[in-house]
Amino acid sequence: MRRSGRIATPRTAGLSATVLTGYGLAAVLGGLAVAVFALLLAAGGDAQSAPPYAYIGRVLGFTLWQAFLSTVISLLAAIPMTRALARQAQFPGRMLLLRLCALPMVMPTIVGIFGVVAVYGGSGYLAWAADAAGVDWQPRLYGLAGILIAHVFFNLPLAIRLLLPAFASVPAESWRLAAQLGMGSRDIFRIIEVPLLRQQLPGIAIIIFMLCFTTFAVALTLGGGPRATTLEVAIYQALRFDFDLRLGAMLAILQVIFCAGGAWAVWRAGRQMVLGNTARLVAYRYDGRASLARLADFGVIILGAVFLTLPILALVQRGLAGMVAAASVASLLKATMISLGLGLAGGLTATLVGYLIAQARQRMLSSGQKRGAMLLGLTGRLGLFVSPMVIGMGIFLAATGSIDLYRIAAAGVILLSAVMALPFVLGVLEPALEVAAARHDRLCAALGLTGWNRFCHIDWPTLRRPIATALALSSVIAMGDLGAIALFGNQDMVNLTLLLYGQLGAYRLDGAASTALILLGLALAFYWTIERVVGGRELH
């Protein structure tokens, strides 16, 4: 490894077991992805027809356009909202609002769609309000507008959750200095917050862009027709409808190229900023105290909260009404236990793997290997930009004849959902590790603190909160999993999401609404508990 000029790191510490395991895990992930693509490409396909280039081009154009718009709108909304939340650090309901932000992550897509439609649809809250007010107006949801509303609903909360820790990480000294210099709100934004955003936004933008790029049901259902076809739909069409594995793999590779390219571009636009060594005092921001600033902040917060909670409110209303038609207590209880068990197992796996990969990436970054660090970061995000369907088909293609996947279904579901949740873990841990490294690497090097000792005495106390957030987020994502559990199809392994789909498929829409409510309530409690138990009390 290259010796770093800036931080005198002893060689032994540079290649610790942690870092090596991180490299190893990333290599396994990357190798698996390559193997999956190679297998699918080799499996061949429909040789007599050439790929429908015009169709693919049109689909690609639409996919990029809607993903771009969704990302930009989500971020543009997230910045003022997060800033307002950071400036107003104490008001009743703040914690609840922040925890509600975890809900869209666990929400099965179809439930989110129903929630959005219940607000913005032809017979939703908005239409009802317009009618009550005597305004002759009908919302026109289906089309690009519907896709964007749903994507912002799903991704704005995620952006807030990921962005807020950054705002909170501005050291107390900065605020004191800013106060001393008499900096106004605009100066603070320009001098303190913009550099912060330049560092944080790229990573968040990538996640949202990829989530929107690989969208499927949202685009089809709310898009109004086949003009709203995304690349993921084309992949589905190739793999399932035409069983043209080669075309499916080629489209999936196209998806990887665009996502990775987007990630690369965004990363370049970002800027590394080291917050430096501080006394880690806790300080409240002094701006946002003036009544005008308060008014503006609360205006933004209320607007955002209404946007976020209205669909959730609609789901709660429908869920409560559907309780009479709920599934039997026994099956709900069983599904709940399975959801929690698989969620915790998937979340723990994702967090552990994510921590190791993020450590390895940090080591590369500290020793100046920017490209290597980026490659590690991208590898960890494979679950985001490789279509789950491609991963699933690849696994079954690889295993058939040698491994009986149906016998190890539980392990398979846990591992696969961990891969899917890994990008979110990295989204939380990478920036946290960067800050921790900047603060403690020199000290640890000087004291010769390495390995487990360093983790216990230095890293755990400072990283406890981000680790808790990563674990909570990934557990909740694994808990709401549908793709992995449906892939293995084990009849005894039915989580709440699958139970809900079973109800929907059997006309039991009211019962499904009640299951959705239970799933959301449980996710909220689960998230809350993990953040509290693992993360300890809030600092302020």
Partner 1 sequence: MRLKSFLKSTILASACIVVASSALAQDKPVLTVYTYNSFTSEWGPGPALEKAFEVNCTCDLTWVALEDGAALLARLKLEGKNTKADVVLGLDTNLTAEAKATGLIAPHGTDVSALKLPIAWDDVDFVPYDWGYFAFVYDSEKLKDPPKSLAELIDGKDAPKIIIQDPRTSTPGLGLVMWLREVYGDKAPEAWAGLKPKILTVTKGWSEAYGLFTQGEAPMVLSYTTSPAYHQIVENSDRYKALVFPEGNYMQVEVAARIEGSPQPDLAKSFLQFLISPEAQKVIPTTNYMYPVLDIGADLPPQFTALPKPEKSLLLSPEDAAVNRDAWTKEWIESVSQ
Binding site residues, partner 1, CB under 8 A: 55, 110, 113-114, 117-118, 121-123, 142, 216-217, 220-227, 229, 233, 236-237, 239-243, 327-328, 331, 393, 396-397, 400-401, 404, 406, 486-487, 489-491, 494, 498-499, 501-509
Provide the token pair at 423. 């990008």
CB of 514 to partner 1, least distance (A): 14
Least Cβ distance, residue 489 to partner 1 (angstroms):
4
Say which residues have a Cβ less than 8 Å from residue 501's Cβ, sequence separation at least 6. 108, 110, 482, 486, 512
* CB contact at 8 A, 332 and 516: no
Q: Closest approach of Cβ 256 to partner 1, in Å?
A: 21
Ordered alpha helix ranges (H), 323-459: 329-366, 370-380, 382-385, 388-399, 409-447, 451-454
Yes or no: say if 332 and 128 are a contact pair by the CB < 8 Å rule. no
Q: Residue 211 or 222: which CB sits closer to partner 1? A: 222
In whole angstroms, how close is the CB of 34 to partner 1 at the nearest point? 19
Taking the least distance from each CB to partner 1, the nearer of 193 and 232 is 232
Q: Which is nearer to partner 1, 372 or 511 (CB)?
A: 511
Residue number with CB closer to partner 1 (190 or 240): 240
Question: Residue 310: which residues within 8 A CB-CB, separation 6 or more?
Answer: 119, 125
Q: How far is the CB of 397 from partner 1 (least distance, A)?
A: 5
Closest approach of Cβ 345 to partner 1, in Å?
21
> Quick check: 305 and 97 in contact, CB under 8 A?
yes
What is the closest distance, in whole angstroms, from the C-beta atom of residue 221 to partner 1 in the complex? Answer: 4
Nearer to partner 1, 218 or 463 (CB): 218
How far apart are alpha carbons 435 and 365 in whole angstroms? 12
Q: Smallest distance from the beta carbon of 146 to partner 1, in angstroms?
A: 8
Of 217 and 293, which CB lies nearer to partner 1 in the complex structure?
217
Of 53 and 507, nearer to partner 1 (C-beta) is 507
Q: Name the minimum Å distance from CB 316 to partner 1.
A: 15
Give the separation between CA 186 and CA 200, rounded to whole angstroms. Answer: 19
- Rounded Cα–Cα distance for residues 535 and 473 (Å): 13
CB of 353 to partner 1, least distance (A): 27
Nearest in space to 218 (alpha carbons), one of 159, 158, 160, 149: 149
Measured distance CA(530)–CA(380) in Å, rounded: 23
Residue whose CB is less far from partner 1, 131 or 538: 131
Structure tokens at 294: 């308060």
Least Å distance, CB 401 to partner 1, is 4
Type of residue at 239:
L
As a three-state string, the secondary structure of 123-183 is CCHHHHHHHHCCCCCCCCCCCHHHHHHHHHHHHHHHHHHHHHHHHHCCCHHHHHHHHHCCC
Closer Cβ to partner 1, 187 or 510, answer by number:
510
CA dist., res. 306 & res. 192, Å (int): 29
Residue 326 · residue 332 · CB < 8 Å: yes
C-beta closer to partner 1: residue 240 or 280: 240
Q: Which residues contact 7 (CB under 8 A, 6 or more apart)?
A: 366, 441, 442, 445
Closest CA to 165 of 245, 85, 74, 284: 85
Residue 452 CB-density burial (10 A; 0-12 exposed, 13-18 middle, 19+ buried) = exposed
In the complex with partner 1, the residue whose CB is nearer, 115 or 354, is 115
